[in-house]
Structure 1
Amino acid sequence: MIELTRLNGETFTLNAFMIEQIQSLPDTTITLTNGKKIVVQTNESEVIRKITDYYQLIGLFGIEEKQVKE
Structure 2
Amino acid sequence: MIKVSRLKGEDDIVVNAELIETIEETPDTVITLTSGKKLIVEESMDEIVRRVMDYRRAIYRNLR
Normalising by structure 2, what TM-score? 0.89
CA-based RMSD of the aligned residues comes to: 1.1
CA distance in 2, matches of 1:12, 1:38: 10
Q: Extract unaligned runs of 5+ from structure 1.
A: 61-70
Alignment partner of 1:20 is 2:21: yes
Looking at secondary structure, tell me which structure has more helix per residue: 2
Q: How many angstroms does 1:28 deviate by?
A: 0.3
Normalising by structure 1, what TM-score? 0.82
Matched-pair identity in %: 43
Q: Which has the higher contact order (CA 8 A, sep 6+)?
A: 2
Q: Extract unaligned runs of 5+ from structure 2.
A: none
Alignment length (residue pairs): 60
Q: Stretches of 4+ moved more than 3 A in 1?
A: none
Give the AA of the match of 1:2.
Answer: I
